[in-house]
Structure 1
Amino acid sequence: MAAQVTIPNGDFNQFVMIRCQDQEYELPVGWKEHPKNERWRQSYNEGFAYKYELPDANENALALHRGYLAQTNEILTSFFVTENIQQLQLTGRYKFSGSDIDEAEDVLRIIVISSEKMIQTISDTHLEDANILDITTPKAQFDRFYLEIDKIQKNTYVTIAIQLISGSDDSFYWGQSNAVLDDLKFVPNHRITAIH
């Protein structure tokens, strides 16, 4: 059943060049940043998603940078499924910097939501029935994560969102954090795997 759920550009090997006024940047095909990033790229030359091309990626990967402008930032994809699916895990590879503020614990959050309509941005009401993995431990080298998924009903949308969340309680400086993700895919959940 897992083979029937294909994540659009889950390996992050396809990027499209965006040209807007005097800015050029690349976003992964099939994924979109929070709308605030378009304004921030124009005003401050700072977005959220970037192409990662270093040798430890499998071809390309997705680099994320949450700057001091946002307490939380996100990128997501939302796609239609036609079959009932259960006993799945979302897996992938990640690196995570943690916060640049010593006292703060930033979070790399991976969210999977099944819904009747396509989701454009994540709100607190979406999180009530979401499958969520919070990663707080920095990883300098790629490590694998596993997120168990509840049953996905047929004829619904599946949304995968990736967020970086500041752990700072200083409303004047949220700090910064970075992450890299690669090779997202659904696999059968026929064994219990430690969640990092």
Structure 2
Amino acid sequence: MADGLNDQRTTRVADLLADFRNLQYYIAAAPVDPPNQDDYYTEGWAALRQCAIDGQHILNCAADTRVPYTRGGPEEQEKAELQQVLLDAYSRRHEAQKIYLRQGAAQRWIDWRDQVLQGQAPQAGHAQQLSACDAQLQVELAAITDDSIYSDMRSSDFQLGRWTYEDPSLRQVQRWLRVRR
């Protein structure tokens, strides 16, 4: 009954967890407090703080360790357990990638804002350009979708020659994430 793929499953889980760990490192390293406290409630800084909260949440949420008992012996049971861990690791990496991309958009917003202000405090003369920065941030954040992340990550995994035969579907990932919100 055993399919002989448990080594590939184990390697896939290890790859996903390594990706997740790396993303968590970048998420944790991003700034959350502006140098000027007057900017604390601005669009980009609020987005960065939310990303930090979301990153901590995805790191701390419990894994679903309920694996149904299977027939067929220890290798089949190991297969079921690895598939459960694969879904967990894949979904965490997916959400971490989304957070990382959102942080990138917010950090670009900070750069744009700094270019507009050029070290000055915001003034009425900056309003139109600052509003355009806020609008661009919203456009970028809206473009970060589960579909695009899923597609980009699958493409990246394929290019890296990773074993993706049993990767969960986008629907499974979204269901996993919905349960943990």
In the superposition, the TM-score normalised over structure 2's length comes to 0.27
Whose helix fraction is larger, Structure 1's or Structure 2's? Answer: 2
Whose strand fraction is larger, Structure 1's or Structure 2's? Answer: 1
Greater Rg over alpha carbons, structure = 2
In the superposition, the TM-score normalised over structure 1's length comes to 0.26
